[in-house]
Structure 1
Amino acid sequence: MMQQIRDSLNGPLIVGVLLAIIGIPFAFSGIEGYFQSNANPTIAKVGDTKITQDQLRRAYDQRYRQLQQLLGENFRADQINPQRMRENVLQDMVQDALLRAEARNSGYRAGDAALRDYLTAIPAFQDSGKFSPERYRQLLAQNGYTPDSFEAQQRDSLIVDQLRDSILGSAVVTADEAALATRLAKQERDFSYLQFDPAKYLPTVNVTPEQVAARYEERKATLQAPERMKLAYVELSQGSIQKAEAPGTDILKTLYEAEKSRFTTPETRRASHILVNFGADKDAARKKIESLSAKLKSGSDFAELAKSVSDDTGSKDKGGDLGIVKRGDGLLPPKFEAALYAMNAAGEVSEPVETEFGWHIIKLTELVPAHTEAFEAPAVQKALTDLYVNKDLQAKVQEKTQQLEQLAFENESTLEPVAKALGLSVQTTDWFTRAGGAGIAATPAVIEAAFSRDVLTDGVNSKPIALDADRLVVIRKAEYEAPRQRELAEVEATLREALRNEEARKLADADAAKALADIKAGKSIDEVAASIGATVQKQDGVTRNKSGVGLALLQTAFKLPRPVGAAVSAGNATLEDGAVAVIAVSSVRDGREKDGHERDTELATLRDARAGAEFNAYREALKKTIKVEVKALPAEEAPLP
């Protein structure tokens, strides 16, 4: 039982929880957490669960930063549509809320033991590879959680996992279905094709000025230059604030006395146990544990007895060893912990102890008393100095943050007094649009504030905006260009090129259609190619996932019906580069059915695919049984006329 908890400390990363805690990432720590909005309307409701604007903003920022981290130097803010991304994030939140509501309604529950195993396996909550209650509480507090609220969320995650597993585990695939899938998946086809590239028709295409002008009038409403702006801003960063000098001994001594717990290693105990599960007969289990206790009192070896009779499969092979435990670390059932800490010396063995896991006999194998490092120790001196300097820095950060907010508010039409008072410089961004730009204009919160009524229309300073945990900015409008109609001269070249490409595409489509008709009428693809001076390209023994063959070619070749007799099965496809291909399938060979391990693997793969499809269908069906209300997300605030 307990060894399973300990083994989980070295287990795989619990991705869902880790993202929830670290991936946010620490959105309420440092100076970023200084400002919070009181306006928090509900934007979606799933059953009794409300999704608020703040929750969406937090999830959006998390997704945005994950993209930044994932793409690194390749990240480009102008390739992200903020409105569409917000809608996608909200859709994911609604789906998650649906599953939580259904899991609760269906009676799924997560007990204390399951939750404990789940939380202690999260590396973010560990110190030197072991679960740390202090770090756990600290990280929750930094992220605006209480243990109760966070653990309630994680219970929801666990019951959703139970619901998901029950659905995924119900998928069934018969051997005949698997055999058919194998024949189709491993099928091979021989085909030939002709390629008609619109680019080759471009030299024959002429576009007149009248055609360009007509296209301009036709598309005029879409030929808008988007609004854009430049920002002036001041940035307050923690790194720019001068740190305090190392304090004197008297100050360090006072700090040491106040923070002595930091330098105290609490008492630890190493324990072993023998576990007897209750099973179907609780009274029989009690009699068994009493018999084992008597054997130990008669001189039986504890470790050998644990190896032979303990029901804790995780610890029995190690003589019942549970490793080092600390009082109050949450890893031990309360009665187990009370019995262990009632012993006074290594080697003592308890009377039988009953917990929710069964009956235990506990042996205290090692006792390490609490120890406090001396004030004079170099490591303590350094830690105290760092602590003093960091506390002083945080006080300065808070003071300057308050000054930044106050000065920006009192001098709402300029940033110069703000910069002068705080020793900062007024900087300017490059042009950017609502899709974002470079530098601070890549931060969603900055973009939102820049195009808000306060900054864009009223022309006042923004409130301080967090770029990350250590940096704040105040922005104001420097320059602004409203959306405008592009003149014909600005877009003439683009329109001309588009018209030429369209006409070339029409010519390629026409020739491809004629070639396809000739093949369907009975001509061979070689005859058709010879008549138009084209080259036949051949692909033999092609599978559905063959590399080096374009996806459009593969998809079309495998969608066409089997050829009958000497005839071919023909069709066309638009390729990835815009060319048109006329395809003639001449032969189809089904894949060989597998046996043994290969068949089992194929069956499992197909079952996983079906399980995923069934789960997606189940999620969609939930929307018909659980009421979902989603408000339309407003477009980002536009300037007043």
Structure 2
Amino acid sequence: MLQSIRDRTSGIVAGFVVALIVVPFAFWGVESFFSGGGDPVVAKVGDQKIHQSQFRRAYEQRYQQYVQLMGSNFRADQFNQAQFQQSVLDDMTQEYQMRQFAQDAGFRVGDGVLLYALSDIPAFQKDGKFDVETYKSMLQRQGLNSQRFEAQMRDSLQIDQMRDAVVGSAFGLPVEAKAIVSLAGQQRDLSYALFSLAHYRQTLSISDAEVQKYYQDHQSEYQAPERIRLSYVELSSDTLPAVAEPSAETLKALYESEKTGRFSAPEERKLSDLMINFGNDKAAALKKAQDLAARLKAGADFAQLAAAESDDPISKKVGGALGWFKRGQMPEANIEKALWALQPGQSSEPVETAKAWHLLHVDEVKAAAVKPFEDAEVQSELKELHKNREQQKQFQTLSEKLEQLAFENPSSLEPVAKALNLTVQTSEWFTRTGGTGIAAQEAVKQAAFSPEVFKDGENSKPLTLGDSQIVVVRKADYEAPRQKKFEEVAEAVRGLVRENGAKARAQADAQALLDGLNKNAGSLQDLAAQRGAEFKNLGPVRRDNGSEDRAVVDALFKLPHPKEGTASYGLATLGNGDVAVLAMDRVAAGDVPDSVPGAQMRQLQQLMANMEFEGYRKRIGEEIKVKIVNPPQADTTSNPDL
């Protein structure tokens, strides 16, 4: 979720407190598009539905992010599609719950907050400031429109309002902090017997009959999924012919056409604001604003007065300073009109908005300016602009030819490659879950198994994979799903049978030792020696112990306090599969501090705030029910032993 963004709709300072915005999870617009009757419902969340198309959109974006993150380490044959689908669906249902609850609870995001949130995203900035063209271009590259993106942003900010309300109001008492510090410092005396899987793997004898039986009983786990390999041609801006150097006349004409928008800096005004909330008495608030305006006319310093009197807790810390504005950037029409009526150094009369009176002050004015044609930066930008536009024209022309040639020659890519001077390439094998290279792209996966390509053996339509990348694919090879022969997987099955047997033996021996301890059949050390287990006596152990396996430490601190003269016993399965039998015979309480240091107190309060929000989120989950209607299905059965 977004962090620490408050919707301060009572003041025009709203969005200036926005930190770095990261739109959560995926760019799927929920209310921005509708699904037809042929789009099955995956899940119902409260009074809303998640359709298959919405789930696929979210899944594919998360999948692409995962593939990019893994890079060359991504292995399609080891990708657990079912688990990944469940993770995506869990995230979607949780966000739907949060959004519905926030909406019903009355949380709202004003246009001002949305505007400044967008302005603060670095990806939408040029030279450190929000740029409309950069914003539109970035969204276009992501395949988004501004309405859908802004709706998603508004939803995210709304959810964060709710989170901030809970976290911001959470608190911890000093006595609670002292108890947590004492608990964190608690020590427990630990000894344990370790049953190592490595020992059982070496001593366990596995017969051929056992391997055969396991294979027969689990044949469904040894299915080779269908897979395909594609031939394709790729048109990319990287391979386009070099653009000729433009003439001075060409650059001059381009400059004249772009001068107003690209090379002109409009007038900007540096604004400060002193806000007086209406509260319960609008007239009284106006009287206060008028009195402050009179003090400003009499020579009072605006920054000092704003710091002392403004009702906006954010801007008053910096003397009411809001920063630089161009025409049309203010969300309030009255504020916009008053701002551009003032002279530098002048303060306004009270200006009314929906919830407050404002006194405005123009600190400084930057006059409009036009960069000359001869400027070195202008020349460089013009040449780059000319190059990009010429490449776009080339790419557009070749794209149209590619589409026409692929249509006219549906049974081969050779004529297409020859006419456009391209190379016919071949992908790696991949399944319906995807693969590497172009096979990681959803458009390619969909086309590969489409009726035209898969069944009819024709060329695909041109597939856009990026800003300037188009491919046309066709089926090169195909292997149908099949049952793997025993000989193909015999060694893998034998290893699995051995591993399962080792785990079962280790668990059984550990349980037998634990039963002996509970029957007072001997000490842990003696019983461990009898069963060939390794004995370790660690002595006092804290919760933050980093040398032992985390499973051992977690199990230790879940054991009940031992009774006088006895020990508490338990089991723990380590991360590597080894099994430990634990004995704990003493608990030493941590010291109770006289006071908790400030930094530690803040950490504990943050911890308690997060715990409170987690409880709040669970309560939302209980109130807004989730019903899975059509669970996502993996495209095919896969196994690493393909």
- TM-score interval for Structure 1 and Structure 2 normalised by the shorter chain: 0.7 to 0.9
What is the alpha-carbon distance in structure 2 between the residues aligned to residue 504 and residue 597 of structure 1? Answer: 48
Instruction: Provide the rounded CA distance (Å) in 2 between the counterparts of 1:388 and 1:234.
Output: 27
Distance in 2, Cα, partners of 1:637 & 1:203? 36
TM-score by length of 1: 0.83
Which residue number corresponds to residue 96 of structure 1? Answer: 95
Change beyond 3 A, Cα 1:320–1:622: closer
Partner residue, 1:122: 121
Aligned to 2:379: 381
Contact in 1 for aligned 2:348/2:360 (Cα 8 Å):
yes
Task: Give the residue type in structure 1 aligned to 2:462.
Answer: P
CA deviation profile, 1:378-418 (whole Å, cap 9, x unmatched):
43333233222212211222222233233223322221122
Indicate the residue corresponding to 1:434 in structure 2: 432
Amino acid of the residue matched to residue 113 of structure 2? A
Task: Indicate conservation of the 8 Å contact 2:139/2:146, yes or no.
Answer: yes
Q: Which residue of the partner structure matches residue 491 of structure 2? A: 493
Q: 1:204 to 1:293 in 2, by over 3 A?
A: closer
1:106 counterpart residue number? 105
Identify if the C-alpha distance between structure 1 residues 173 and 411 changes in structure 2 by more than 3 Å, giving closer, same or farther.
same
Partner SS for 1:16: coil
SS in 2 for 1:474: strand
Q: Which runs of 5+ in 1 are unaligned?
A: 25-36
Structure 1 residues 324-335: aligned runs within 5 Å: 324-330=324-330, 333-335=332-334
The 1-side partners of 2:207 and 2:306 are apart by: 93
Q: What is the CA–CA distance in structure 1 between the aligned matches of 2:121 and 2:68, rounded to whole Å?
A: 21
State the partner residue of 2:615.
Answer: 614
- Partner residue of 1:232? 231
CA displacement 1:455-488 (0-9 Å, x = unmatched): 3333222233333333222222211222222223
How far did 1:636 drift?
A: 3.0
Query: Using the alignment, how far apart are the partners of 1:535 and 1:375 within structure 2?
Result: 81
CA distance in 2, matches of 1:313, 1:605: 22
Alignment of 1:400-549 (within 5 A): 400-522=398-520, 523-532=522-531, 534-549=533-548
Summarize the Cα distance change of 1:476–1:179 in structure 2 as closer, same or farther, 3 Å threshold: same
User: CA offsets, 1:18-54, max 9 Å, x none?
Assistant: x767xx9xxxxxxxxxxxx999835445456554555
1:150, distance to aligned residue in structure 2 (A):
3.9
Structure 1 residues 344-380: Cα deviation after superposition (integer angstroms, max 9, x where no partner): x544554443334644444444443322233343433
Tell me what 1:372 maps to.
Answer: 370
Residues 1:216 and 1:58: Cα distance change in structure 2 (over 3 Å): closer
Report the Cα offset of residue 191 of structure 1: 2.5
Measured in 2, the distance between the counterparts of 1:326 and 1:55 equals: 38
Residues of 2 paired with 1:502 and 1:301: CA distance?
A: 79
Aligned to 2:286: 286
1-structure distance, mates of 2:168, 2:561: 36
Does the aligned pair in 2 maintain the 1:171–1:610 contact within 8 Å? no
1:255 corresponds to which letter in structure 2? L
Q: 1:62 to 1:245 in 2, by over 3 A?
A: same
23, 38, 41: which one pairs with 1:16?
23
Contact 2:18 2:117 in 1 (8 A): no
Task: Evaluate the alpha carbon distance shift between residue 458 and residue 81 of structure 1 in structure 2; reply closer, same or farther with a 3 A threshold.
Answer: farther
**8 Å Cα contact 2:452/2:458 also seen in 1:** yes
The residue aligned with 2:32 is none
Q: Percent identity?
A: 43
Find the counterpart in structure 2 of residue 633 from structure 1.
632
Mark the CA change 1:72 to 1:285 in structure 2 (over 3 Å): closer, same or farther: same
Aligned letter for 1:618?
Answer: R
Moved more, 474-483 or 44-53: 44-53
Q: Contact between 1:178 and 1:602, CA under 8 Å: does it hold in 2?
A: no
Unaligned runs of 5+ in 2: 1-7, 29-34, 638-642
Asked whether the 8 Å contact 1:187–1:590 carries over to 2, the reply is yes
Q: Which piece of structure 1 moves more, 516-525 or 306-315?
A: 306-315
What's the CA shift for 1:342?
2.7
Tell me: CA distance 1:369–1:402, structure 2 relative to 1, closer, same or farther (3 Å).
Answer: same
SS of 1:103's equivalent in the other structure is: helix
Residue 256 of structure 1: how far off its partner (Å):
2.6
8 Å CA contact retained: 1:194, 1:581: yes
Aligned partner of 1:604 in structure 2 is 605
When residues 211 and 149 of structure 1 are mapped into structure 2, their CA distance, relative to the original with a 3 A threshold, is closer
CA offsets, 1:410-436, max 9 Å, x none?
Answer: 322221122112211111123333343
Matches of 1:518 and 1:272, distance apart in 2:
78
Match of 1:391 in 2: 389
Aligned match of 1:31? none
Residues 317, 480 of structure 1: CA spacing in aligned structure 2 closer, same or farther, 3 A cutoff?
closer
Q: Kindly tell me the number of residue pairs found equivalent between the two proteins.
A: 619
- CA change 1:636–1:220 in 2 (3 A) is closer
TM-score, structure 2 as length reference: 0.83
The 1:252–1:632 alpha-carbon spacing in structure 2 relative to 1, beyond 3 Å, is: same
Contact 1:40–1:53, Cα closer than 8 Å, also in 2: no
C-alpha deviation, 1:538, in angstroms: 0.9
Cα distance, 1:541 vs structure 2: 0.8
- Partners of 1:309 and 1:507 lie apart in 2 by 75
Tell me the residue number matched to 2:161.
162
